[in-house]
Amino acid sequence: QVQLVESGGGLVQAGGSLRLSCAVSGRTFSSYSMGWFRQAPGKERERVTAINWIGSSTYYADSVKGRFTISKDNAKNTLYLQMNSLKPEDTAVYYCAANHLRNVITSTTIDYWGQGTQVTVSS
């Protein structure tokens, strides 16, 4: 059973930074393509950023390019999301996701979801 557990969310002022972590159980973390999604109140869940299994390809939503960075530490079985220059519109529940495919993860190719962590950015 694969489990994804997010941490690192919280309340931060606009312009601040947070780093989210997603700890993944299981022995095949290095083979997973992974991503971060978010869902704000009243909105659909959206893909924020993704990284393929080997780390050679990434995706960033236009709204976070230049501010967010995704990284994958295979030695620690952990996915990270460094979020800088946060804006109130980044407020959402952030979810970690994984699949067994080789390509960058999309919203329709999820095998595993985390439970989510709340990020709130005050103005």
pLDDT tens, residue by residue, 61-102 = 999 999 999 999 999 999 999 999 999 999 999 999 999 998
Coil, strand or helix at 90: helix
Q: Let me know: does 110 contact 98? Beta carbons within 8 Å.
A: yes
pLDDT at 27 over 80: no
pLDDT at 114 (0 to 100): 97
What DSSP line would sit under 8-60, residue for residue?
--EEEETT--EEEEEEE-SS-GGG-EEEEEEE-TTS--EEEEEE-TTSS-EEE
One-letter amino acid of 43: K
pLDDT at 67 (0 to 100): 98
